[in-house]
Amino acid sequence: MKNIAALFVLLFSQIATADVFWFVRQEDGNTNWQYVANFSSGILIVALSITAIRLALTRRAARRYNRDLEEIRAQLENRVKERTATLDNANSLLQQSNSALEAEVTEHRDTTTKLRLSESYITSILRSMPLMLIGLNKNGEITQWNNRAEEISTLASDKVLGKNLWHAYPTIAVTPEQIKQAQDEDKTLTVKYSQRGQYHFDITIYPLHDQLETGVVIMVDDVTQRVQSENMLVQRDKMSSMGEMASVMAQDINIPLQAILKDLQTVRRDLTEEHIDPIGIHELLDDALIRGRQAASVVNNLVSFSDASAGEKQLANIIEVMDHSVELAADVLSVTKGLRFKDVVINHNYADELPQLSCHVPELQQVFLSLFRYSCHALGKIEDPEHTPSINIEISEFYDAVWVRIQHNGLGISTEEQQLLFEPFFASSHAVADSEGQSDTNAEQHSASERLSFAQFIIVEQHQGKIAVTSDINIGTTFHIQLPYPIAADADAGIES
């Protein structure tokens, strides 16, 4: 449009300065204005047509541009919406993240507080433990030293932490070799350290696992009072068992002595009569001599037992020990009242080539003698005249132990009595009262014979074995004894009792 206007301006300016209508002048010099008007109209129409076409094209382009602008605007709006949604989502996530982070920080603070409290609590426990606790690193330097360690060693923790254990506390009863052994074997090592009559310590060395720095923890427990109390209990049980055995032995001695006194009284009475029966007196004296030898056998066995109780164990053939016990029972239990041992059928069932046992021979003989005495009393309670009293003795080998079974077919014992049989001063209900509920004059004798706590003490405490009983009231009772074989060192050098 600006170009057309400029064209018209230029045209009129040319008209103003020149004769632009020369081509429509007539010969007489007059201008044919009709031609001028027609020509101008045509040019104007052409110009207007061109202008209209250009306006149409411009409008069409404007519409296209508007559509493009609308599309761009729409795309921009969509992008703005998407970006806004993304920002909103990111803002929401950021808020959630901030909330989670805030919660995590709070939780972390709580955890840190709990860890500090826990660490303080554990440290307090370690420091207040009633036993000596020492921590070492791989170089043997002290990392932990509790209050008990300070009391025993008289060394403050701040003076020993970080120092070598054996430089700071050279009198400790732990060697570097023991520490190295626990670390190399990666297992707990227990060491017992004691000075007889003075102190006893249990030392435990724990290797540390899953730690940034390897090391060990040493725990030293002063068990002097506990060991002394245990020794006192063992001594009390042993004295109780010895009293039980002394009671039984006293009865075994008292019965033949009473028979001897009775025979001597009869001899003295016969000697005062006018007509003396020398044969009868001779028989009474022979009987008194036999009873005296039997009493002497009991005393000698008791003396032998007392001498051997404090000695060392020795290797012995269990079959020979059992056979000697049967011979001893034939001497001792044949002078008791009621059923005598010599009237009992003894059946043997021994395994072949049994190895020797490390044991106290007299003590085992006393155990077997006590079981034979108990069996005799149980057999004597059977009143059936056709009953044949018998004792079956079986010795066998099973794994690393010898098993001894002594079974009789006498009156069995109840379950309650089985539970109390090996307790000190146990008395069978059959021995306390008779069938009518009256007190038995021989109750003390039967009570002593039916106590087996001494036998249990010898088997369990002196020989590290086991003893048990199974019984049926109508069939009989079986005693089961397990005696372990000695280890090689014990078999060669003996074991201190």
Structure tokens at 157: 């923790």
Q: What is the pLDDT of residue 124?
A: 72
Structure tokens at 139: 């170089």
Structure tokens at 365: 């003989």
Question: In this structure, what DSSP letter does residue 496 have?
Answer: B
pLDDT beyond 80 at 290: no
Q: What is the pLDDT of residue 154?
A: 85
pLDDT beyond 90 at 406: yes
- Amino acid, single-letter form, for residue 473: I
Q: Which of 197-206, 239-248, 309-318 comes out lowest in average pLDDT?
A: 239-248
Cβ-proximal residues to 282 (8 Å cutoff; 6+ apart), any chain: none
From the list 408, 417, 406, 390, the residue with the least C-alpha distance to 467 is: 406
**392 and 407 in contact (C-beta within 8 Å)?**
yes
Q: Strand, helix or coil at 479?
A: strand
pLDDT band at 289 (very low <50, low <70, confident <90, very high): confident
Q: Which residue has the higher pLDDT, 16 or 13?
A: 13
pLDDT band at 101 (very low <50, low <70, confident <90, very high): confident
pLDDT beyond 90 at 481: yes
Q: Which residues pair with 480 in a beta bridge?
A: 405, 468
Query: Using CA of residue 448, residue 449, residue 452, residue 455, what is the dihedral sign?
Result: positive
Strands 390-398 and 345-350: parallel
Task: Select the CATH number that applies to the domain covering 228-493 from these four: 3.40.1160.10, 3.40.50.970, 3.30.565.10, 3.30.70.141.
Answer: 3.30.565.10
pLDDT band at 431 (very low <50, low <70, confident <90, very high): very low
Q: What is the pLDDT of residue 435?
A: 34
Question: How many residues belong to the chain?
Answer: 497
**214 and 298 in contact (C-beta within 8 Å)?**
no
Q: Which residue has the higher pLDDT, 14 or 464?
A: 464
Q: Which residue has the higher pLDDT, 485 or 55?
A: 55
Q: What is the pLDDT of residue 350?
A: 92
Average pLDDT on 276-283 reads: 78
- Amino acid, single-letter form, for residue 139: N
Q: How many CB atoms lie within 10 A of CB 39?
A: 13
Q: At which residue do the structure tokens 């400029």 appear?
A: 6
Mean pLDDT of all residues in the chain? 76
Burial class of 61 by CB neighbour count within 10 A (0 to 12, 13 to 18, 19+): exposed
pLDDT beyond 90 at 391: yes
* Percentage of the chain modeled with pLDDT above 90: 8
**374 and 452 in contact (C-beta within 8 Å)?**
yes
The top-scoring range by mean pLDDT among 60-69, 192-201, 271-280, 441-450 is: 60-69
Q: What is the pLDDT of residue 203?
A: 82
224-271 and 361-380 helices, crossing angle to 10°:
60
Q: What is the pLDDT of residue 361?
A: 83
Q: Which residue has the higher pLDDT, 305 or 357?
A: 357
Q: What is the pLDDT of residue 3?
A: 64
Q: What is the pLDDT of residue 493?
A: 39
- Amino acid, single-letter form, for residue 7: L
Query: Distance between CA atoms of 384 and 265, rounded to whole angstroms?
Result: 36
**275 and 317 in contact (C-beta within 8 Å)?**
no
**257 and 295 in contact (C-beta within 8 Å)?**
yes
Name the CATH superfamily, with its identifier, for domain 130-222. Answer: PAS domain (3.30.450.20)
Q: Which residues pair with 482 in a beta bridge?
A: 403, 466
Average pLDDT on 120-131 reads: 72
Structure tokens at 161: 């932490």
From the list 397, 412, 416, 425, the residue with the least C-alpha distance to 478 is: 412
Query: Using CA of residue 233, residue 237, residue 238, residue 242, what is the dihedral sign?
Result: positive
Query: Distance between CA atoms of 449 and 339, rounded to whole angstroms?
Result: 13
Query: Distance between CA atoms of 321 and 203, rounded to whole angstroms?
Result: 41
* Percentage of the chain modeled with pLDDT above 70: 71
- The pTM assigned to this predicted structure is 0.47
Structure tokens at 247: 């009671």
Q: Which residue has the higher pLDDT, 59 or 447?
A: 59
Q: What is the pLDDT of residue 21?
A: 54
- Edge to edge, the sheet with strand 199-207 lists 142-145, 132-137, 215-222, 199-207, 189-195
pLDDT band at 214 (very low <50, low <70, confident <90, very high): low
| Number of helices and strands in the chain (H, E) | 15, 12
- Edge to edge, the sheet with strand 401-408 lists 345-350, 390-398, 401-408, 476-484, 466-472
Q: Which of 16-30, 230-244, 416-430 comes out lowest in average pLDDT?
A: 16-30
pLDDT beyond 80 at 470: yes
**359 and 316 in contact (C-beta within 8 Å)?**
yes
Burial class of 53 by CB neighbour count within 10 A (0 to 12, 13 to 18, 19+): exposed
| DSSP states along 362-382 | HHHHHHHHHHHHHHHHHHHT-
Q: What is the pLDDT of residue 173?
A: 78
Structure tokens at 384: 């059936």
Q: What is the pLDDT of residue 241?
A: 57
Q: Which residue has the higher pLDDT, 96 or 289?
A: 96
Q: Which residue has the higher pLDDT, 237 or 392?
A: 392
Q: At which residue do the structure tokens 């989670």 appear?
A: 100
Q: What is the pLDDT of residue 439?
A: 38
pLDDT beyond 70 at 486: no
The top-scoring range by mean pLDDT among 173-177, 212-216, 331-335, 346-350 is: 346-350
